[in-house]
């Protein structure tokens, strides 16, 4: 005999590493002396039934320019698809949670063609939850005497 169980459960999980390039005007920058990624946040956007990750990272940059050294903060942002393979007998549309795995990181920075190009990378985990149905085998239980 089988028993029907209906419960909210994790119906999919995926890990993605996103890379992107953030560009800002050089405004007299001759050389980038240092880069420090700061606070990061990630949130999920479910558009068209497929989750997308929106990641924002604040980055401090130290520049050498014609008027000396200066520090500036820039906000780097990306929105990228974050697909999750779903499994199980879903009874409702899934909801998605997103979290950062580790810290955002810079992979390259360069000054070219009057712009500063900052290459970023971040890894996220996406989890899907939904109301689902599953069946378990019911064992005949005979109480001990």
In a domain, 61, yes or no: yes
Q: Is residue 89 part of a domain?
A: yes
Confidence of residue 47 (pLDDT cuts 50, 70, 90): confident
Residue 145 falls inside a structural domain: no
pLDDT at residue number 145: 60
What pTM does this model have? 0.81
Question: SS3 for 113?
Answer: coil
- Within a domain: residue 55? yes
Give the count of domains, the chain: 1
Closest CA to 83 of 19, 15, 129: 15
Q: pLDDT tens digit string along 13-41?
A: 999 999 999 999 988 888 999 999 999 99
For residue 142, being part of any structural domain is answered with no
Does any domain span residue 22? yes
pLDDT at residue 144, as a whole number: 59
Structural domain that includes position 19:
2-137
pLDDT in tens, 92-123: 999 999 999 999 999 999 999 899 999 999 99
Tell me how far CA of residue 30 lies from CA of 67, 68, 88, 96, 111, in angstroms.
10, 10, 56, 44, 7
- What is the torsion angle, in degrees rounded to the nearest 10, for the CA atoms of residue 99, residue 101, residue 102 and residue 107? -110
Pairing of strands 115-137, 89-90: antiparallel
Q: Is there a contact between 20 and 78 (Cβ–Cβ < 8 Å)?
A: yes
């Amino acid at each position: 005999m089988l028993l029907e169980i209906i419960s909210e459960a994790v119906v999919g999980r995926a890990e993605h590493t996103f890379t992107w390039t953030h560009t800002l005007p050089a405004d007299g920058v001759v050389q980038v002396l240092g880069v420090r990624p700061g606070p990061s946040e990630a949130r999920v956007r479910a558009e068209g039934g497929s989750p997308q990750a929106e990641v924002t990272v604040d980055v401090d940059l130290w520049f050498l320019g014609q008027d000396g050294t200066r520090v500036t903060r820039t906000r780097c942002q990306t929105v990228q698809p974050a697909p999750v393979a779903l499994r199980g007998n879903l009874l409702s549309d899934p909801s998605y949670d997103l979290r950062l795995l580790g810290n955002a990181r810079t992979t390259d920075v360069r000054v070219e063609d009057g712009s500063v190009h900052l290459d970023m990378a971040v890894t996220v985990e996406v989890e899907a939850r939904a109301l689902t149905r599953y069946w378990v085998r019911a064992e005949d239980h005979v109480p001990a005497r």
